[in-house]
Amino acid sequence: MLILLLLFFFTLSMSILTALIREEKVRGLVVIVGSIVMMVLDVLFCVWAYSNGVGDNKVLTFLPESGVTEKCTYVFMAGELFLFSLITVLSVKHGKYHCILLSAIGTIPVLWLDMTHKAVENLPMLKVDDLTILMFMVVGIVGGLISIYAVGYLHDYHIHHKDVENRSQYFQALLFLFLTAMYGLITSDALSWMFFFWEITSTVSFLLIGYTKKSEAVTNSFRALWMNLLGGCGFMVAILYCALVMRIGSLTELVEAGPAKAGIVIPVVFLSLAAITKSAQMPFSRWLLGAMVAPTPSSALLHSATMVKAGVYLLIRISPLFAGNLGGIMITTIGGFTFFAASLLAISQSDGKKVLAYSTISNLGLITACAGVGQPAATWAAIMLLLFHAVSKSLMFLAVGAVENATGSRDVEDMHGMIVKFPKMAYVMTVGICGMFLAPFGMLVAKWAALKAYIDSNNVMLVMFLVFGSATTMFYWGKWLGKLYAVLHQSERHRDVVHKSEWRVMYCLTALIVSLCALFPMIGTVFVQPVLSQSFGQTVGTIISDNDIRVMLMMLIMIGLMPVLAAFLIRNRKEKMTMAYMAGVNAGDDRHFIDSLGGIRPSYLSNWYMEEWFGEKRILNPSLYLSATAVTVMMIVAVGGAL
């Protein structure tokens, strides 16, 4: 485990070192080199784990000596007190006293459990298995690339936002601290250790969202804080019940207890509450939408590789416990509904980051629903969705951030003709968009597996959510993709002002998407299926069969043949290209027309966003109220039935 400790403390030291370096160029170099070293250590750790048998269904556990465990417990207690004090000071400063109350409710009982030695002892504190390795690749590789991207982005960001205090060193330090916390969270098996890192991610995300210190940023950051602190309270209840009633102290022991164990639904429901708040499921989705006010690297990190993935990671871990109980029904209902409702809301948005935010919430809903089914095939789909979503969505966020810095706008409508204006950016965004919904990219493959799992589980409601949610997903991604290639007359290529470091990161993520697409059968068989065997305690066969792959290849071939067929059908036609009719005489550039009075009027071709049907004012609040009622009722019924 030496290399794991080296990786953990190196990332933590990078956070401290970055915070101390004031010179921008020196700090940028340190961040780039440090990120590369972190990614190398990350890969070396994964190689080490596999060389020690993880790839052969072996689980590596780490039980430190009692003295070391006791010292770590004291360190974590001090850390929890520091987080509580920080939240208290900032909450008093801004008059958000409810955050103090929620923080106290979540922190004090766990501290009492540690101080009174009522926690379960002599249990594995750290655990490394196939799922840990997959999460390490997501957190380390994607998180490291985002940290490198932030160097050039923040330089341009503060040139365009002179009203925002330049605190780049603080921002970059928080990025590394976030990655450190995620490393700790995904390797922790002890519930109390996981809770500590869980709370760090909540606090750091709060600090990142409030980076600009503007009133909107402060409001949104505290919304994110109280919602995640509420989830932390749920985590706390699960820890107390497991320790005091069930004498269980680790996640592995909890899963091994099985869904039939008496009272198991209580910790499952409260851990699920923590997970859906962290993963921004309805009715807790608004904190993730508010996170858009922060600079793009933090949005990419929160939406793709770290914060929201912590929630679905926990759900995947406890997925076997959802089979046949109200906890599973609650998670599948909320996840499926969030997938459908958020995809409808995305249709009505033209702000690029807002489309990505609703898309993130939607896709997380699908992952949540898959985990809640409690069957190997659905959990396989959840893991595959997690992997492909992390890479594709991080690429899209970084691309939108680069476009905003270059053009001053992140509106999808202002991205028309990108293929002419910024061809490289258009190609990168095309791969990112296709990765989210087209064959043979992994998101569609995973949705295919999810659909099979839903049908096999006889869950008609989930099938309906998936079918209609996927249709609306295709609609808003198709609009965006079409806008990139909608070229008007006299469109000119713009000067590329995106930093080379930003391009390198986006190229790496683009290559990752293509690689994942090509290797998905191997990833599913070699990496994901062992996770299912370990979690469900049974040998899990092939989820995506050869017949499924053949059908997907046929779909891909058909997509490729469509333009060829179109060209063949019109090859002998002699047609005259004319200017578009514009309810008046075209002025010659397809952008202006001469009206009946002889005046020149501008014309603009826009997508249809259906705000009158799917706008936020129309369906957001009803969706939040409906999901809040469903969560409350199902939690009361589940816990009441268990007691």
- Are 297 and 146 in contact, with CB atoms under 8 Å apart? yes
pLDDT at residue 491 is higher than 70: no
pLDDT for res 494: 75
pLDDT for res 490: 58
Question: pLDDT grade, residue 269 (50/70/90)?
Answer: very high
600-602 and 585-586 beta bridge pairing: unpaired
- Are 148 and 504 in contact, with CB atoms under 8 Å apart? yes
* Cβ neighbours for 629, distance < 8 A, ≥ 6 positions apart: none
pLDDT for res 578: 66
Q: Compute the distance between CA of residue 526 and CA of residue 539 in angstroms, rounded to an integer.
A: 13
Question: pLDDT grade, residue 165 (50/70/90)?
Answer: confident
What's this model's pTM, rounded to 2 decimal places?
0.92
pLDDT for res 147: 92
pLDDT for res 548: 67
Q: Please tell me the least confidently modeled range out of 27-31, 163-167, 311-315, 583-587.
A: 583-587
Q: Please tell me the least confidently modeled range out of 99-113, 181-195, 348-362, 449-463.
A: 449-463
Within 10 angstroms of residue 284's Cβ, the number of other Cβ atoms is: 27
Q: What is the rounded average pLDDT of the residues 365-379?
A: 90
pLDDT at residue 318 is higher than 70: yes
Q: What is the rounded average pLDDT of the residues 132-144?
A: 91
Q: Is 466 helix (H, G, I), strand (E, B) or coil?
A: helix
Triad 314, 317, 323: Cα angle to 5° = 110
Q: What is the rounded average pLDDT of the residues 268-291?
A: 93
Q: What is the rounded average pLDDT of the residues 168-186?
A: 93
Question: pLDDT grade, residue 440 (50/70/90)?
Answer: low
Q: Compute the distance between CA of residue 148 and CA of residue 152 in angstroms, rounded to an integer.
A: 8
Report the share of the chain in percent with pLDDT over 90.
Answer: 38
Quote the mean pLDDT of the chain.
86
Within 10 angstroms of residue 575's Cβ, the number of other Cβ atoms is: 6
Closest CA to 86 of 563, 411, 508, 94: 94
Q: What is the rounded average pLDDT of the residues 588-593?
A: 74
pLDDT for res 506: 92
pLDDT for res 71: 82
Q: Please tell me the least confidently modeled range out of 57-66, 190-199, 238-247, 423-432.
A: 57-66
Residue 158 has φ and ψ, to the nearest 5°, of -80, -15
pLDDT at residue 113 is higher than 70: yes
pLDDT for res 54: 79
- Are 620 and 345 in contact, with CB atoms under 8 Å apart? yes
pLDDT for res 566: 73
**How far does the chain reach from its first CA to its final CA, in angstroms?**
41
pLDDT for res 115: 82
Helix 143-160 / helix 376-407 crossing angle, nearest 10 deg: 30
pLDDT at residue 640 is higher than 90: no
Phi-psi region at 408: left, alpha or beta (left = phi > 0; alpha = psi -120 to 50): left
Q: What is the rounded average pLDDT of the residues 220-237?
A: 94
Closest CA to 544 of 413, 442, 408, 407: 442
Length of the chain (residues) = 643
Question: pLDDT grade, residue 43 (50/70/90)?
Answer: very high
- Are 248 and 321 in contact, with CB atoms under 8 Å apart? no
Within 10 angstroms of residue 497's Cβ, the number of other Cβ atoms is: 11
pLDDT at residue 581 is higher than 70: no
